[in-house]
Structure 1
C-alpha cells in the first residue's frame, strides 16, 4: 500500500490509524485512502482489539433465548451496541436457571462486559471474571436487568416498574368490582417475582372485603399455568372471580383451565397477565396485561455498560410499564 501511494509505511500507519492530522497533509492522506480502496484493504479487527485490550463485545445472559421478551431485550441491546461498534453475544443459562459453563473458557479475554437478567443471575457464577461493578478490580463490568437495586454491593441496575405494573392490574380488577382473587405466580427465585407477590398482597390488604384466596406457584409455561389455575379453582369454599397471573403464558394456561371447568372468561372468571407478548392477542378472549418496553430495557442496559467501560457512572433507573385492558377481564358475575 505504501508503494502504491508513494509514501512510507509509517505514513500509511498514521493515516489508517486516524492519527495523521497535523502530521500528514490532507492530499497525502487522501492518496493513502485511495490506495487502500484500490487494494481492497480491510482492517484486522482482531489485531486492533488485541492492541487496544478490547474485544468490543458484550455478553447478554438470559434465562431463555426462545422467550419473546428476551429476544426483544436482545434487539434493543444490539441496536445500541451497533451504534458504538460493539457486538452482543446472547447466552442462555442452562434450563433457564442455575450455573452456566463459561461459554468462552475465559470470558475475561473474550468479552468486555456483561448484561444479565436477574432470572439468570446464578449463571454468572460460572462466567469467569464477572464482577458487580466496574473493572478496577480486574473483573468484568456488569449491569443487571430487573434486579434488586437495594442489594448491598450490587451492580448498576436497569429495572421495569414491576410493582407499579402489578398495582395497575389489581386496581383495574378492583375497579371492575372483584373482591375474591387468586395469584398464579412464577416459581422463580428472582427479585422481579418477589415484588409481584408482595404487591398483590399489599394492594388487596388495603381494600376492605378484598381477599387473596390463594397463591399457586408454578413453572413459567402454559401447561404449568393451567394446572396451577385448576388447583385454585377446584378448592372448596368461595371461588375467586379474578386470577392475577405473573405472565401471559400463565394467563393463557389459566384460560384453558377455566374452559376445562366450564367457566366462561370473562363472564364467570376474569384473567389478567403480564408482559404483553404476541400471545396476548393471539388467544380468545384477548388478554388484559401489562406492556413491558423490552427493547428499551436492552438499550438502557447496553448504554449503562458502555458508560462503565468508559469509566463513567452507569445511568440505571426504572422504566415505566402500562396496563393494556382487553376482553379477558370484566365485572364479576
Structure 2
C-alpha cells in the first residue's frame, strides 16, 4: 500500500480498509466495541498505520466539546510528595491523550490567581488535594467533573475520592511503637485544617486508648522545620513525664523534632524515638534514618487521573484505598531510662 504525498484523511483510511468513514471514526476513537467487529477494527488500525494517518485532535475535541486538559490543584510545587502526584497523573493522562495543568495554592498567601478566563471552557475536569480545596472556589472547579485526593468521602464537594490508607499507616506506626514498649507519645500535629490530618489524630487517639497506660499529648506546628523545632522544644520542657516517642504528621516535622531533641540535650532514639509519615528523600538524609510510613505519591496521582477518566466516561472509579507501608529505620528503639 503506497503512502500518499499529501496528509492522509479518514476517507483515505476508510478506502484502504474497505469500510465507511464512520467505522474509522469509531475505531480510532476507541468507540468500536459492540458496533464493529474486532477484525474490522484491526483492519482500520493497520490501514491507518500504513498510511501514517493521524487524527485531527483539535477538530475532534471541538466536536466532542472536550479540551483534553485537566487541572491538578495542589498546595505548593515545592513539596516533593506533590511532585510525585503530578508525575503519576501526567503519565496516565499522556497515555490517554490528555494534558495536566498544575494550579498551586501555596500556604500562607492564598490561592494563586485564576489562570483561566473560563475554567469551564478551558478544562475537562479537576483533580484536587483536600489541602488546597479552598482554591476550587476561585476557579469554580467544583462545577467541573471532580476527583478529590485525601478527602472525606462523605464531604468531597460531590466529586469522586481517591485516598491513601492513612489510618492503616497510623495503625502500623502505633503497633511498632507499642511493641517497643512506648506508652508516652507526643503527637507533633500539622497545624493545617485538612481531613487527612484529622484522620491521623483520630486514629492515633483510638489506638492509644486501646493500650493500657498509653497517653498521647498533642503539639501543633506549621509544616516547617522551624515550627517543628519550637513546638517540640515546648512540649519536651512541659510539665509531667517526658514523652518517649514523637509521632510526626510528616517527615519535615520529624526533621524539626530531631533538631529540638538534640537542642534539649537528648538523643534519637536512645532518649526519644521519632517517626514520620511520607517517606520523602529527607527520611534517609537525616541521621539516624527515619522510621516512617511510605506513601506512593506517583501511584496516588495515577489513581487520581484514572478516576477522573472514569468520571468523564460516565463510569464509576475503582474503589479501595491505596495501601501504605511502614518502613522501620534507626530512629525508633525501646524507651530508655528517663
Any conservation in 1 of the 2:251–2:292 contact (CA below 8 Å)? yes
Counterpart check, 1:108 vs 2:111: no
Q: Which residue number in structure 1 is paired with residue 265 of structure 2?
A: 262
Any conservation in 2 of the 1:99–1:125 contact (CA below 8 Å)? no
Choose from 206, 211, 219 the match for 1:216. 219
Give the structure-1-normalised TM-score. 0.86
Any conservation in 2 of the 1:15–1:32 contact (CA below 8 Å)? no
Q: Which residue number in structure 2 is paired with residue 300 of structure 1?
A: 303
Any conservation in 1 of the 2:170–2:200 contact (CA below 8 Å)? yes
Q: Which residue number in structure 2 is paired with residue 64 of structure 1?
A: 76
**Between Structure 1 and Structure 2, how many residues are aligned?**
312
User: What is the root-mean-square deviation in Å for CA atoms of aligned residues?
Assistant: 2.8
Q: Which residue number in structure 1 is paired with residue 244 of structure 2?
A: 241
Counterpart check, 1:151 vs 2:155: yes
The Cα offsets for residues 122-177 of structure 1, whole Å up to 9 and x where unpaired, read as 1100113x23xxxxxxx410000000012276311100111111111111111101
CA 1:31–1:256: 2 relative to 1, 3 Å: closer
Alignment of 1:162-173 (within 5 A): 162-173=166-177
Q: Which residue number in structure 2 is paired with residue 22 of structure 1?
A: 19
The Cα offsets for residues 240-292 of structure 1, whole Å up to 9 and x where unpaired, read as 01000000000000001011111010000000000000000011010000000
Q: CA deviation at 1:61?
A: 0.4
CA 1:322–1:152: 2 relative to 1, 3 Å: closer
C-alpha distance in 2, partners of 1:310/1:56?
A: 12
Find the residue that maps to 2:153 and give its secondary structure. Answer: coil
CA 1:153–1:55: 2 relative to 1, 3 Å: closer
The Cα offsets for residues 63-97 of structure 1, whole Å up to 9 and x where unpaired, read as 01111111111111111111111111111114367
Q: CA deviation at 1:326?
A: 0.5
C-alpha distance in 2, partners of 1:126/1:31?
A: 43
Alignment of 1:165-244 (within 5 A): 165-212=169-216, 214-244=217-247
Q: Which residue number in structure 1 is paired with residue 89 of structure 2?
A: 77
Q: 303-312 or 144-153, which moves further after superposition?
A: 144-153
C-alpha distance in 2, partners of 1:192/1:227?
A: 23
Any conservation in 2 of the 1:14–1:20 contact (CA below 8 Å)? no
Any conservation in 1 of the 2:104–2:111 contact (CA below 8 Å)? no
Give the structure-2-normalised TM-score. 0.84
Find the residue that maps to 1:195 and give its secondary structure. Answer: helix
Q: Which residue number in structure 2 is paired with residue 328 of structure 1?
A: 331
Find the residue that maps to 1:271 and give its secondary structure. Answer: strand
Counterpart check, 1:290 vs 2:293: yes
Counterpart check, 1:277 vs 2:289: no
CA 1:17–1:74: 2 relative to 1, 3 Å: farther
Q: CA deviation at 1:298?
A: 0.6
Any conservation in 1 of the 2:183–2:244 contact (CA below 8 Å)? yes
CA 1:161–1:97: 2 relative to 1, 3 Å: farther
CA 1:19–1:322: 2 relative to 1, 3 Å: farther
C-alpha distance in 2, partners of 1:17/1:235?
A: 79
Q: 271-280 or 150-159, which moves further after superposition?
A: 150-159
List alignment gaps of at least 5 residues for structure 1. 132-138
Q: Which residue number in structure 2 is paired with residue 135 of structure 1?
A: none
C-alpha distance in 1, partners of 2:126/2:178?
A: 41
C-alpha distance in 2, partners of 1:263/1:152?
A: 43
CA 1:49–1:178: 2 relative to 1, 3 Å: same
